[in-house]
Amino acid sequence: MIEAHTLPRLFAGATDRPLSLAHHEEVFQPDGDVANVLEELNASGLIGRGGAGFPTSRKVELLRNQRGHKYVVVNGMEGEPAAHKDFRLLSTNPHLVLDGAEMLASMIGASRIAVCVARDNPTVVHHVEQAIHERARRNLRGPGIDLHTPPWRFVAGEESALVHWLDDNESLPQYRPGRPHILRIGRGPVLVDNAETCANVGLIGRYGAQWFRSLGTDDHPGSVVVSVTGAVQRPSVLEVNLGTPLRAILASAGADTSPQAVLLGGYGGAWLRGDQIDTPYSNDALAAHNLSVGAGIIAVLPRQACGVAEAHRVVRWMAHESARQCGPCAFGLPALAEDLFAVLRGGRDGVVAIARLQERCGVIEGRGACRHPDGVVRFVRSSIDAFAADIDDHLRGAPCAGAQSKQRFLSVPTLEHEEDLIWE
């Protein structure tokens, strides 16, 4: 059984093979009956681990008051190239994720659970399929569980795009002028949570709020699963106590502990300078730097790297990955990528481009059908601040050595006909 103050929690009993249902129930034995799971969920302070940080109990309360044929959607798509945590969790103990999904379904009165995993990761698809089959053989009462395998794309993991795919077989984000907003499959209201959030619900339903809050901080309780990439010995997935200093997390991951900067929250997130990595890894501490834990991604950039070159690659890929259904994505994001390339090349065009970047960010922000362009704007603005010295070097015609190097540290899928940078 899991003890209150120890890690791992979500990965308890983990091996190189997924836990069977019997082994899962042996490892995660409840201390006793949790009388009211919703009350415990509310007292736990659990916020979604997918990036938005919305209180999970508020989502549940919102859906409980809806009528119709309800659904719970487990979002295991993980569209971020730098993220591997939900895939690791679903490969290690899919039953804990399914436990949480069943509890959520019970709380809102949902009759079906849709588990969504990208078809491009057949190993994880197989693990989840086997877990669903294993549970079905027990003939337990409860909601039906279906596995869905949309194609992998960055926007396919955005919750409204995922629900749109389930409803109409298209991965297109839906326009939502206000939050919270009830998503629907047909006329049925939908609760969407990512795999890690569901797994935490499963733990809270077994051990209660007090147990959950025995780790983390008062304002950001629990543990979190983190993907660490970039300047590391090898990309890794760690479960960490919220409030742990970033430097300690980097050391545990075998990462550079004297970096130029670390990117938090993925490619819609923002940079933290290398001299700030003793900051505790929790939303309450990171708020002082206008940052958050977000989707649990830490990308480490060493001092010899060119932040401008890395930012250009990310923004170019993010522009390519947009749904192109509104102007900010179709025209604004490619324009940001072009401006960053002009800054890389330097000279007079670069000076004009850096001023234009700031103006375009202001025009794009808040005008998209979804939050994809806002995330890119956040990343661009943060890159301009974090790599101001590199930008000055490029603009005066003296690009840093990192820009001319072929070594890159942020994981970005290669685009067709991707050009090499030519320095004159």
HEC letters along 247-278: HHHHHHCCECCCCCEEEECHHHCEEEEHHHCC
- Segments of 61-133 assigned E as strands: 71-76, 112-117
**Parent domain of 256:** 223-301
Give the pLDDT score at 175: 63
> What CATH number does the domain containing 162 carry?
3.40.50.11540
User: How far apart, in whole angstroms, are the C-alpha atoms of residue 142 and residue 112?
Assistant: 9
Residue 405 tokens read as 């190097």
Spatial distance between the Cα atoms of 328 and 372, rounded to a whole number of angstroms: 9
Reported as a single tens digit per residue, the pLDDT across 271-322 is 999 999 999 999 999 999 999 999 999 999 999 999 999 999 999 999 998 7
**What is the band of 9 on the pLDDT scale with cuts at 50, 70, 90?**
very high
Torsion-angle region of residue 212: left (phi > 0), alpha (psi -120 to 50) or beta? Answer: alpha
Q: What local confidence, expressed as pLDDT, does residue 248 receive?
A: 98
9 in a structural domain = no
Domain co-membership, 277 together with 351 = no
pLDDT above 50 (res 36): yes
Report which secondary-structure segment, H or E, holds 194. strand 188-194
Give yes or no: residues 197 and 280 share one domain. Answer: no
191 and 255 housed in the same domain: no
Query: Is 5 inside a domain boundary?
Result: no
Q: 173 with 257, same domain?
A: no
Domain boundary among 238, 267, 301: 301
Structurally, the chain folds into a number of domains equal to 3
- Note whether residue 352 is domain-resident: yes
Helix H or strand E segment including 381: helix 372-386
> For the chain, first and last CA: distance in Å?
63
Note the pLDDT of residue 423.
Answer: 39
Asked whether residue 3 is assigned to any structural domain, the reply reads no
More confident call, 53 vs 415: 53
Which residue, 161, 177, 212, sits at the end of a domain? Answer: 212
Distance, in Å, from the CA atom of 37 to the CA atom of 28, rounded to the nearest integer, reads 16
Q: What is the pLDDT of residues 171-206, one digit of tens each?
A: 777 766 555 678 899 999 999 999 999 999 999 999
Q: Is the pLDDT of residue 412 over 90?
A: no
Contacts of 275 (CB under 8 A, 6+ apart): none
Domain CATH code at residue 249? 3.10.20.600
Q: Which residue matches tokens 């001299």?
A: 275
As a dihedral over the C-alpha atoms of residue 319, residue 321, residue 326, residue 332, rounded to 10 degrees, the angle is 0
For residue 174, what is the DSSP state? P
More confident: 80 or 303: 303
Helix H or strand E segment including 25: helix 21-27
pLDDT bracket for residue 367 (50, 70, 90): confident
pLDDT over 60 (residue 365):
yes
Position 255 in a domain:
yes
Q: What is the dihedral of CA 131, 134, 139, 145, to 10 degrees?
A: 20
Based on the domain organization, do 207 and 268 belong to the same domain?
A: no
Same domain, 280 and 394: no
* Structural domain contains residue 338: yes
How far, CA to CA in Å, does 235 sit from each of 134, 159, 238, 394, 407?
Answer: 31, 26, 10, 30, 16
Is this prediction's pTM over 0.85?
A: yes
Indicate which CATH number applies to the domain containing 386.
Answer: 1.20.1440.230
Q: Please compute the mean of the pLDDT values over residues 245-254 and round it to a whole number.
A: 97
Considering 251, 284, 301, which residue would you say is the last residue of a domain? 301
Residue 139 and residue 35 share a domain? yes
**Does residue 13 lie in a domain region?**
no
Residue 175 and residue 141 share a domain: yes
Considering the domain architecture, whether residues 399 and 251 belong to the same structural domain is answered as no
Phi, psi for residue 395 in degrees, rounded to 5: -65, -30
Q: Using an 8 Å Cβ cutoff, are 86 and 116 in contact?
A: no
Regarding whether 229 and 205 lie in a shared domain, the answer is no
